[in-house]
Amino acid sequence: MPHIFCIANQKGGVGKTTTTVNLAAGLAQVGQRVLIVDLDPQGNATMGSGVDKRTLANTVYDVLLEDVTIAEARQRSPKGGYDVLGANRDLAGAEIELVPLERRDRRLKTALEAVAAEYDFVLIDCPPSLSLLTLNGLTCAHGVIVPMQCEYFALEGLTDLVNTVKQVHANLNRDLQLIGLLRVMYDPRITLQQQVSDQLKAHFGDKVFNTVIPRNVRLAEAPSYGVPGVVFDPSSKGAQAFVAFAQEVVERVANKSLV
Binding of ligand ADP by 15 (CB under 6 A): yes
Binding of ligand ADP by 14 (CB under 6 A): yes
Q: For 142, how many CA atoms within 13 A lie in the half-sphere containing its CB? A: 14
State which residue, 69 or 164, has the beta carbon closest to ligand ADP. Answer: 164
By a kind-dependent CB cut-off of 5 to 8 A, residue 87 interacts, out of Mg ion, ligand ADP, none, with none
Is the Cα dihedral 106, 52, 49, 188 positive or negative?
A: negative
Listed ranges 14-22, 29-37, 110-118, 250-258: which one lies at the site for ligand ADP (CB under 6 A): 14-22
Binding of ligand ADP by 239 (CB under 6 A): no
Binding of Mg ion by 88 (CB under 5 A): no
First-last CA distance in the chain: 12
Is the Cα dihedral 79, 139, 73, 58 positive or negative?
A: negative
Binding of Mg ion by 109 (CB under 5 A): no
Binding of Mg ion by 53 (CB under 5 A): no
Q: How many residues bind Mg ion (CB under 5 A)?
A: 3
State which residue, 112 or 213, has the beta carbon closest to ligand ADP. Answer: 213
Shortest Å, Cβ 104 to ligand ADP: 24
State which residue, 7 or 250, has the beta carbon closest to Mg ion. Answer: 7
Among 26, 58, 238, 250, binds ligand ADP (CB under 6 A): 238
Binding of ligand ADP by 213 (CB under 6 A): yes
Spacing of C-alpha 82 from chain mean position: 14
Is the Cα dihedral 225, 122, 16, 180 positive or negative?
A: negative
Binding of Mg ion by 17 (CB under 5 A): yes
Binding site for Mg ion (CB under 5 A): 16-17, 44
Residues binding ligand ADP (CB under 6 A): 12-18, 44, 128, 184-185, 213, 215-216, 219-220, 223, 238
